[in-house]
């Protein structure tokens, strides 16, 4: 019997004998486009972030560490699980597989796991200790790894919304090109001297907390830049920047024509430089271009009236010199969609060839920071991008329009990945039951892998 916990707004069962939580699952609570069937394929995971199939058709599952504190890789074969590797940095953002090697992306690192269990860090020292981290790797047609690197802050300024400041007081964003700053500074109550009244920390852009800017300061170029796409050889050598100016490129993939696409999640109305109504975007990536962060959103300058946050303070530009006019997104999603993993459909029997199916995680704004975030207008669904018409439609969503924790149902919660398997079915990774005031906290054993198949119309 599932019990409703009024104090935390969750629907789950706690087994006192095993000490495990069990989530209510009911695929009938999910609307899916006619002609498809969805089922709860595997469940009981600790905040899974990604999956991949090996050459034998075995399923590899990455658990992020958000629920258990122990990020690990599992292998599902012959109806049983095997732990392949564990004890990574939190979180594992995802995994990939090539030539008998598992590529694990975890905070600050890309690590290879060989067939004999040997581990090798092939990329290290990424600026992933801030708000956002490095994405899963993808493989290019010429056998290089590509991955995204998120920004340290929401919009270029360290502020009191950055919960990591006390542990990493010198951390700040690093640009992907030589830039000149206008020199604005932002005042906050100094979090290091909370006992003192009227002690103000003055912080500039691309500077550590409490370090001010002067007009026309120059910042040098970093290869491992905030908000960049990076590539390297399969062994991690010859690391180079592909493009920058993204805020949080959470997932990248090449289509069969060798074209690279990425998600990019937009600004939030939080922190010292809040920006409202920013879209989450899906980009076709052209190398050597700047994509607009921290002064553009979806190809539009953030000085436009639409980006004024609820506090009424219009954002101003940080960079005096813009490297180029930022490209427009391929398509844009509403604020708080929070785009994660996606895949191209290359099976005409499943649906239109080449269309993209993408996981929407939902709002990541902490309830104690910034303005309230809607739950029904975006996120907690699988969307489909028609790559010919550049239009977006909903493929699968809870019938209530809300996440399972809000509606007390048995459908979707936090979706992080979509992948087509060797059986031509679609697999959806659901991280599990999320604690409402912390988008990175999950109840153990409530992660699910859903499976979608085509039925006879």
Q: What is the mean pLDDT of residues 408-435?
A: 95
Q: What is the mean pLDDT of the chain?
A: 92
H/E stretch holding 405 reads: helix 404-407
pLDDT in the model for residue 440: 82
DSSP class per residue in 237-297: -S-EEEEE--S----EEE-TTS-EEEEE----S-SSS---SPPEEEEEPPTT-B--TTTEE
Indicate if the pLDDT at residue 376 is higher than 70: no
Any idea where the domains of the chain sit in the sequence? Answer: 3-454
Instruction: Please tell me the least confidently modeled range out of 18-27, 107-116, 285-294, 442-451.
Output: 18-27
Say how far apart CA 153 and CA 133 lie, in whole Å.
11
- Kindly report, residue by residue over 54-75, the tens digit of the pLDDT: 999 999 999 999 999 999 999 9
Going by pLDDT thresholds of 50, 70 and 90, the confidence category of residue 2 is: very low
pTM for the predicted model, two decimal places: 0.93
Task: Give the angle subtended at the CA of 288 by the CAs of 282 and 290, to the nearest 5°.
Answer: 55
3-454, CATH topology level: Neuraminidase (2.120.10)
pLDDT in tens, 268-280: 999 999 999 999 9
Mean pLDDT of all residues in 345-354: 95
State mean pLDDT over 167-175: 96
pLDDT of residue 408: 86
Q: Given the DSSP bridges, would you call strands 280-284 and 331-333 parallel, antiparallel or unpaired? A: antiparallel
Cα end-to-end span (Å), the chain: 35
pLDDT for the residue numbered 367: 44
């Amino acid at each position: 019997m599932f019990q409703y916990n009024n104090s935390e707004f969750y629907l789950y069962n706690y087994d006192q004998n095993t000490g495990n939580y069990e989530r209510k699952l009911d695929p009938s609570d999910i609307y899916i486009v006619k002609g498809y069937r969805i089922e709860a394929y595997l469940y009981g995971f600790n905040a899974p972030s990604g999956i991949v199939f090996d050459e034998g058709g075995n399923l590899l599952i990455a658990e992020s560490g958000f629920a258990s504190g122990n990020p690990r890789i599992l292998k599902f074969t012959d109806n049983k699980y095997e732990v392949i590797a564990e004890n990574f940095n939190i979180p594992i953002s995802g995994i990939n597989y090539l030539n008998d090697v598992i590529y694990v992306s975890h905070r600050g690192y890309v690590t290879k796991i060989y067939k004999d269990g040997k581990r090798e860090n092939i990329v290290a020292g990424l600026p992933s200790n801030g708000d956002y981290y490095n994405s899963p790797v993808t493989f290019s047609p010429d056998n290089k790894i590509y991955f995204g690197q998120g920004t340290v802050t929401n919009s270029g300024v360290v502020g009191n919304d950055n919960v990591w400041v006390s542990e990493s007081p010198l951390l700040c964003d690093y640009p992907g090109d030589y830039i000149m700053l206008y020199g604005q500074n932002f005042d906050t109550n100094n979090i290091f001297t909370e006992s003192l009244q009227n002690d103000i920390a003055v912080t500039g852009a691309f500077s550590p907390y409490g370090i001010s800017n002067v007009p026309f300061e120059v910042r040098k170029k970093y290869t491992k830049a905030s908000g960049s796409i990076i590539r390297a050889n399969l062994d991690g050598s010859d690391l180079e920047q592909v493009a920058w100016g993204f805020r949080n490129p959470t997932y990248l993939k090449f289509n069969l024509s060798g074209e690279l696409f990425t998600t990019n999640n937009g600004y939030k109305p939080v922190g010292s430089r809040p920006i409202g109504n920013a879209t989450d975007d899906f980009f076709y990536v052209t190398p050597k271009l700047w994509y607009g962060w921290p002064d553009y959103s979806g190809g539009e300058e953030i000085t436009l009236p639409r980006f004024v946050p609820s506090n009424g303070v219009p954002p101003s530009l940080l960079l005096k010199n813009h490297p180029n006019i930022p490209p427009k997104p391929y398509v844009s999603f509403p604020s708080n969609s929070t785009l994660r993993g996606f895949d191209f459909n290359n099976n005409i029997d499943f649906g239109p060839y080449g269309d993209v199916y993408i996981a929407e995680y939902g709002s990541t704004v902490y309830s104690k920071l910034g303005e309230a975030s809607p739950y029904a207008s975006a996120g907690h669904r699988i969307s489909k991008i028609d790559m010919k018409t550049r239009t977006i439609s909903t493929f699968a969503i809870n019938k209530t329009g809300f996440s399972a924790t809000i509606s007390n149902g048995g459908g979707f919660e936090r979706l992080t990945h979509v992948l087509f398997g060797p059986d031509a079915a679609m697999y959806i990774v659901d991280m599990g039951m999320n604690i409402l005031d912390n988008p990175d906290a999950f109840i153990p054993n409530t992660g699910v892998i859903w499976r979608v198949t085509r039925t006879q119309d």
